[in-house]
Structure 1
Amino acid sequence: MKNVFIICVMILSYHITNAQNKISGKILDQDNLPLIGATVFVPDLNKGTVSNANGGYELSNLPNGNIKIQFSFVGYTNRIEIFSLNGESLELNVTLKQTIIDAEEIVITGGYNSTQHENAVKIDVLKLSPLTIKNTPNFTETLTQVAGVDMISKGSGVSKPVIRGLSMNDILVLNNGVRFENYQYSSHHPLGIDEFGIEDVEIIKGPASLLYGSDAIGGVINFIKERPAPVGSIVGDYNMQLFSNTLGLTNNLGIKGASKRFFGGIRVGQKTNADFLQGGGAFVPNSRFNEMSVKTNIGFTDKIGTFKLFYDFNNEKLGLVEDEAINAITERGRENKIWYQKLNTHLLSSQNKLYLSKFKLDINSAYQNTELIHFGDLNVYEIQMKLSTLTYEAKLHLPSKENSEYIIGFQGFNQTNANLNNRETKLLPDASTNNYSAFGLLQYTFFKKLKVQTGVRYDTKSISTQAIGLPVDPLTYRPAIDKSYGSFSGSLGSTYNFSEELLFRVNFAAAYRTPNLAELTSNGQHELRYEIGDQNLVPENAYEADLSIHYHKDNYTLDIAGFYNIVDNYIFISPTGDTTVSGIDIFRYKQANSVLFGGEAGLHIHPKPIKWLHFKATFSSVIGKQENGDYLPFVPAHKLKFELQTEKEKLLFLHNAFISVNTTTAFNQNNAAPDETPTKGYTLLDLSVGGNIKVKNQFFTLSLSANNVLDKKYIDHLSTLKEVNLYNQGRNISLSLRIPFDITRNNKH
């Protein structure tokens, strides 16, 4: 199967047309003055340029067919134009209007390259700008800036995102659209993606099985890679971060270039962090972590389409905060020696888009390999496993009209897990998983105000494992299993524009998730507990309704969203009340019909008389309950966040400066699951200041932040350190420096 896609790309990678498509013009402001450095970007082709000193731009070697182009400039509204090209040169002069509210972006995770307001399902976009991203050693914490997104944490290095109370295998993480597989089933394993080389993060809250299959019943987080360099340039950036709390240091260097047809880049990074300090100053033994990453890409764009190849490597060493390590480590440090896990992850992906007359064809494939090693005492291997995953898909965009778009597609997924070198513990058995699916998606616009999106999908999945141990020893024996599943999923959603300012969304979705390998086969100690799986578990089935309203004016926006998610056969792990002979608590995977409900609200204001000031407030709430009335585990407390930010063109030596004050209030979480205890609420205060520094003709970006300024001693309800009576991170002062450089410009001088 994997060779089919390689052959398809080779057969189709010839020129089917010699026509020359080109778009050029000027980008102007409302006074008809040129905007210098405005961005012109074609998401489908991953190709862009910037306007010159006269506001002029040019994009050539464009394919025939419908092309969507985004024009953008900081402080101005985005403008999105759709062209139908057929061997021609077009001239378009674009006027952008000033705005003090963030402009809507083109998003890609919903299946179509469309604006946020056009999607039936709301897609939140988190821009990873150096001046807006939260400075923290823990990248997952940055995602919690989005209302409804939280994290399960086991210190600074190990954390998992949570969307509306669902996490781990109930949400799907995508690395630039590729399903990311790195033993994500456990709260003890890390996210595995760092923030550098990421343009933005797109988040779908709610079932998304229609596009992505099983494991997306709670939502999707898609980490979108940075755009290529503007055509005709070679640019790069160096990033450094310092963290007082973890004595942390981050270094990252990237360089990329692009010609009219070719583009590529490379980025390398390193992180090192010592044991973090709790609120009050005591250190958390073995919370240290170290990381190294390499990211490369190369691509080709021509009239027939675009072809991209990406390679990511990530090496992580993460200390395990558990009883043995806490007792053994008496001094703070940063080197991982005992009780830590090491993950090496390789991801090679090919992403291709072909323009075939009135059709567009996406052919994508990826191979990833993650090796997980769990060390106990010095140089003692406890667990060693390798997870190998092959994914592939073909999506055909059928001929569309102005008011309709159609997609049909096929996806495949083949995965093997292998235990290596006969280590002491076999946490999971040797196993293979295969998944095949077909889907169709339709988007139709009525009366220019009502946009409807619907679709259906069918998945078939099989899991087979090898036996572990012998039947004569029932305590360690795990029989081989051979399971097959099949299920339909679908959704129906609509967006109605009452006016240019008021938008209403409604969405209904049916999704499902099959039990994973750990839930079916676990039988052994994992961190602080002994876990037992159940091979008789059946798939989860989710049925969710989402309603949301968006309203905006020139100087403020208001968003309100609510959801109700019924999850039949919800799978979770729960204590049995028994212990092993050595006194370790025994937990067993079980399932129950459950429901999660809640919502988010957000208000963003830029007062007209004082445009340099902006205020943002968000509130998120979720409650998860079983059919018998018990609450679900890992459901976050209600949270209220405020942000007050001032912006000045010049503040002392800073250009485009800002000062920001943020507060986060978590309410008391009394809705604890049977194996949890209630958690007291808390309020945290964060401060930050930053801007650009000009040295000769070079701008540097500098920011200074203080998180948990008052050094609050607190425990978040989703912190697994609560099990060992340790607190969350105390005060952290961080310094962030970004130095961009343009080799092309320097060579011209």
Structure 2
Amino acid sequence: MKFRIIIFFFILFSSLSRAQNIKILNKVTKEPVFGVAIYNVDKSKSAVSNFRGEADLDEFTDSEIIYFKHLSHVLKSLTKQQIKSNKVYLESNTQGLEQIVISASKFRQNKKDIPQKILSIDANQIQFANPQTSADLLENSGQVYIQKSQLGGGSPMIRGFSTNRLLITVDGVRMNNAIFRGGNLQNVISIDPFAIENAEVTLGAGSVIYGSDAIGGVMSFYTKKPKLSYTKSLLFNGNTQVRYASASQEKTGHFDFNLGYEKWALATSVSYNSFDDLFMGSHGPDDYLRPEFALATTTGDVIISNDNPLVQKYTGYDQLNLMQKVHFEPYEDLSFDFGLYYTTTSDIPRYDRLIRYKGETLRSAEWSYGPQNWFMSNFQVTKLSSKSNLYDKIKATLAYQNFQESRYDRDFQSSTRNVREEAVDAYSFNLDLEKRISPKTQFFYGAEYVFNKVKSIGAEEDIVNNTATKTVSRYPNGASWQSAAIYSSIKYKPNPKFVFQSGLRFNYVGSEADFTENNMYLNLPFDTSRNESEALTGTAGISWSPNQTIQWKLNASSAFRAPNIDDVGKVFDSEPGSVVVPNEHLRPEYAYGGEIGLKLNFNDLLVFDMSTYYTYLDNALVRRDFTLNGESEIVYDGELSNVQAIQNASKAWIYGYEIGMKLAISNHLKFTSQYSIIGGTEVEGNIEVPIRHVAPNFGNSHLIWSSNNLKFDLFANYNGSISYNQLAPSEIEKDYIYALDTNGNPYSPSWYTLNFRTQYQVNKSISIMASLENITDQRYKTYSSGIAAAGRNLILTLKYSI
């Protein structure tokens, strides 16, 4: 009997020893790789790694070749006999997503080869930063400055440029449309940070690849791509996430899941955010406090004393984000992608307008943006290998977008509510190709066509009688804007140390507008407008690494922004007592710039990344005083207003310096720091004045400790001041959003925050993230912002993955 028991345990032990449970890890980070497809030559045997990177190879024989395939790693083949210590290491084909970029040419390139400075933000960084919106995601990079007029906002500033001088793309599709304005824009918050796989920010001009608007930079967002199983087995994974933030009483829920088959995959993402009124900090300028607010009652508008002046009434809003993507890959080098994206918000109170006074009384009883809706559908075909003489790689993208926005306002104790509603239908087609001419030379080229159609209405509502009458619309209803372009770029890499890249783009832009309806109210000297312009832009640069320690980058470029419908045909109140009217005589503005970068890498233990840049903006499109039929003032929304218009009336000079540092103190502890210095002036009349969107000096420093399941980040954000004499004239006019200096003049004070965040992986399914922001409870506003930033803010997040 004892002999039989011994034989039984011997057989059991032998069978267990033959079973092979392996762990698949990233070769560089040593982190487990989830969702690796494991199969033999004919795919008759297969397995998929779990969240710990583990897989069972028991059904494979010792001698047969086993393939390990993952979307973001290089395909690897081994036999069981070749696997050492039950671990398989895969090399990332994105090199950590910090070395490979897409936005520079629409195809994957080594980041080291690009003459321009490009920031890369990957999914792990996004998850750890845990941003409320995509604007906050950009701000966490430390090199993009964010302005906010309200809680539901976030207008990026890059190297002294913002709004319609910056370009936003989502999965390669241009988001900028015909009514992107020179005033602060909130469209970036329509992009769900939970759905983003990685983001790239090109610092500086990008007109050769992206055309009009890409003067100061390009923000490229790439959403999560459906993952295939590459086997006959189903690959299923999903995530559920809930978040709470104390400063705004934020309540956020999110879920996503992936269904992956051998050739088909689907990815679904849903997010919902609910924000209450935002609390500001306790220590700072009293000018930011909210002592009272207007309230509409059944008997009329009244002024209510705010029980807690730290509460910014009214700022809360809700947002819903949906995404559905389908991926079909019949062959390894051919794929089809289809995506649907939809974002909607509740009404968003515009806080900076609600705190304006007219004399001793609040000016507005109501001022809100209506729901901000964005819908996009895109279809993309990509072929990554071809024997054609014309191309090796080709990508075609067809997209449709619909933008809907509105705004309504009513003066205190007025019965008239002013309503403006806008919608834009945007169609686009892109064709991008790559051809390797020789082992040292690559050629990129393509074409683009964009067409926008604008709908716009204006109305005055009588809230007492519940009636509405038509009035002047913000834009000429039915206006159209279109752009057609061809571009080419060449990359010459004679050796691993030196790369030269250069490119050209020719662009035609045209717009048409009919002002007949608005002329019932404005009496413009023209009924129709047709604006056409052509632009030729170019870039040239080098990347040179004489040794492992030093890398030099040098780049020169030109960029342009053609007038859009917002420039040519807008009618709106730019500020109290001023109204902007249409101007059909506009030409493109051009930017000419240069950049020098130096990176010093001492064995990855200490890294310095420095760059300096200079940009000259010619024929700048700016808002200036104007006359309409010889009159410098007209009545608009019941108020006598100074007439202004967008004009080619300025020149600007912008310059700056950026320095970053990374220090690996130990295997688990590192220190990083980033600082940006920006300056510039523009011509107004015959004098040079500060530029509106030049941010103050700003930066951050992080002390990060991480182990297998735990990560800590103690960090500081800091921001310089802008004195009264350094404020742009248009900012001085908005004194109600600024603190007052000892002379009673508006200025933007310096500020800092101390912050702490942590992430703990409880097990393979559960992770917890917690942050305590603005620990010292500072009361501050980022430059040009109408709303004060959050005070001390506790953020708790729970994530469950399957």
Q: Which TM-score band applies after superposition, normalised by the shorter structure?
A: 0.7 to 0.9
Q: Which residue of 2 aligns with 1:163?
A: 158
Residues 53 and 437 (structure 1 numbering): CA distance in 2 closer, same or farther, change over 3 Å?
same
User: Match of 1:364?
Assistant: 397
Normalised by the length of structure 1, the TM-score is 0.81
* Residue ranges of structure 2 left out of the alignment (5+ in a row): 1-21, 38-46, 58-64, 78-82, 283-308, 359-364, 460-469, 733-745
Equivalent position to 1:439, from 482, 487, 509: 487
**Measured at CA, do residues 685 and 491 of structure 1 come closer, stay the same or move farther in structure 2, by a change above 3 Å?**
same
Alignment of 1:371-410 (within 5 A): 371-376=404-409, 382-410=419-447
Amino acid aligned to 1:570 = A
- Spell out the pairing of 1:451-490 with structure 2 (5 A cutoff): 451-469=499-517, 474=522, 479-490=527-538
Could you say which residue in structure 1 is the equivalent of 2:692? 633
How far off its partner does 1:421 sit?
Answer: 8.1
Deviation, 1:135, is 4.2
| SS class of match (2:688) | coil
**Rounded Cα–Cα distance in structure 2 between residues aligned with 1:521 and 1:147:** 36
One-letter amino acid matched to 2:316? R
1:197 counterpart letter in structure 2: A
Q: Cα 1:438–1:236, aligned 2, differ >3 Å: closer, same or farther?
A: same
1:515 alignment partner, SS class: coil
Alpha-carbon distance in 1 for matches of 2:443, 2:91: 33
Partner of 1:684: 752
Between 191-200 and 596-605, report the one with greater CA deviation.
191-200
Equivalent of 1:539 in 588, 611, 623: 588
Amino acid of the structure 1 residue aligned with 2:101: V
Q: TM-score, normalised by structure 2?
A: 0.76
SS across alignment from 2:33: coil
TM superposition shift of 1:221: 0.2
Quick check: 1:597 aligned with 2:655?
A: yes
Correspondence 1:225-304 to 2 at 5 A: 225-229=223-227, 231=229, 232-280=234-282, 282-303=310-331
CA distance in 1, matches of 2:368, 2:23: 60
1:448-504 deviation line (CA, Å, top 9, x unaligned): 311111111101111000114476865577632101111111111111111223211
Distance in 2 (alpha carbons) for counterparts of 1:630 and 1:238: 51
Q: Does 1:671 align with 2:671?
A: no
Closer/same/farther in 2, CA of residues 309 and 505 from structure 1, 3 Å limit = same
Larger radius of gyration: 2
Determine if contact 1:147/1:618 at 8 Å carries over to the other structure.
yes
SS in 2 for 1:481: strand
Give the C-alpha shift of residue 690 in structure 1.
2.1
Tell me how large the CA RMSD over aligned residues is: 3.6
**Partner Cα separation in structure 2 for residue 479 and residue 660 of structure 1:** 60
Residue deviations 1:28-58, cap 9 Å, x none?
7889x997527879xxxxxx98665489973
The aligned residue for residue 658 of structure 1 is 712
Q: Displacement of 1:519 after TM fit?
A: 1.7
How much has 1:691 moved relative to structure 2?
2.3
Rate the CA distance shift 1:283–1:380 in 2: closer, same or farther, 3 A.
same
Partner of 1:115: 110
Determine helix, strand or coil for the equivalent of 1:141: helix
Residues 434 and 352 of structure 1: is their aligned pair in 2 closer, same or farther, counting only changes over 3 Å? same
CA deviation vs aligned residue, 1:602-648 (integer Å, no higher than 9, x gap): 001111xx332211111101112114421111210011321122224
1:522 Cα deviation (Å)? Answer: 2.1
Are the equivalent residues in 1 in contact too, given 2:26–2:32 (CA < 8 A)?
A: no
Cα distance in 2 for residues equivalent to 1:534 and 1:34: 60
For 1:326 and 1:676, the matched residues in 2 are separated by 14
One of 419, 430, 433 as aligned partner of 2:456: 419
Deviations 1:217-253 (A, max 9, x none): 1110001112333524111111222111111111111
| Equivalence for 1:66 | none
Query: What's 1:45 paired with?
Result: none
Using the TM superposition, name which of 106-115 and 375-384 deviates more: 375-384
Identify the residue that residue 611 of structure 2 maps to in structure 1: 561
- Matched position secondary structure for 1:435: strand
- Amino acid across the alignment from 2:409: G
Q: Which runs of 5+ in 1 are unaligned?
A: 1-24, 42-47, 63-68, 72-79, 84-90, 329-335, 650-654, 742-749
Distance 2:23 2:704 in 1: 33
How far the C-alpha of 1:356 sits from its partner, in A, is 3.2
Query: Aligned partners of 2:184 and 2:111: how far apart in 1?
Result: 31
Look up the SS of the partner of 1:306 in the other structure. strand
Question: Shift of the alpha carbon at 1:560?
Answer: 0.2
- What is the distance in 1 between the residues matched to 2:36 and 2:553? 29
Shift of 1:535: 2.2
Identity %: 18
8 Å CA contact 2:245, 2:251 repeated in 1 = yes
Q: Which residue of 2 aligns with 1:22?
A: none
How far apart are the structure 2 equivalents of 1:641 and 1:313?
34
Shift of 1:184: 3.1
Structure 1: distance between partners of 2:633 and 2:673: 46
**Offset of residue 711 of structure 1:** 1.9
Between the two proteins, the alignment pairs up a number of residues equal to 665
Question: How far apart are 1:26 and its partner, in Å?
Answer: 10
Q: Give 2:623's aligned residue.
A: 573
Are the counterparts in 2 of residues 238 and 254 from structure 1 also a CA contact under 8 Å?
yes
Match of 1:614 among 647, 666, 670: 670
Correspondence for 1:37 among 16, 27, 33: 33
Distance 1:476 1:631 in 2: 32
Q: 1:324 to 1:399 in 2, by over 3 A?
A: closer
What is the distance in 1 between the residues matched to 2:66 and 2:729?
Answer: 62
Q: Which shows bigger deviation, 390-399 or 488-497?
A: 390-399
* 1:699 aligns with one of 761, 765, 782: 765
Which residue type is aligned with residue 449 of structure 2?
G
Seen in structure 2, the aligned counterparts of structure 1 residues 255 and 465 have a Cα distance that, compared at 3 Å, is same
**Cα distance change on mapping 1:731 and 1:104 into 2, 3 Å:** same
Aligned CA distance change for structure 1 residues 132 and 463 (closer, same or farther; 3 Å): same
- Measured after TM superposition, the shift of residue 420 of structure 1 is 4.8
Per the alignment, do residues 238 and 478 of structure 1 end up closer, same or farther by CA in structure 2, a change over 3 Å counting?
A: farther
Task: Classify the secondary structure of the residue corresponding to 2:747.
Answer: coil
Alignment check: 8 A CA contact 2:264 2:329 kept: yes
Residue 190 of structure 1 deviates from its aligned partner by: 3.6
Check 1:154–1:389 CA distance in 2 against 1; reply closer, same or farther (3 A cut): same
C-alpha contact 2:255 2:269 (8 A) present in aligned 1 = yes
Instruction: Give the 3-state SS of the residue equivalent to 1:196 in structure 2.
Output: helix
* 1:3 aligned residue: none
Sort the Cα spacing of 1:551 and 1:81 in 2 relative to 1 into closer, same or farther, 3 A. farther
Q: Which of 697, 706, 715 in structure 2 is aligned with 1:647?
A: 706
Equivalent-residue separation in structure 1 for 2:512 and 2:634 (angstroms): 28
**Residue aligning to 1:19:** none
Rounded to whole Å, the distance in 2 between the matches of 1:401 and 1:242 is 55
Q: 1:59 to 1:461 in 2, by over 3 A?
A: farther
CA distance in 2, matches of 1:104, 1:735: 28
Separation of aligned partners in 2, 1:272 and 1:585: 39
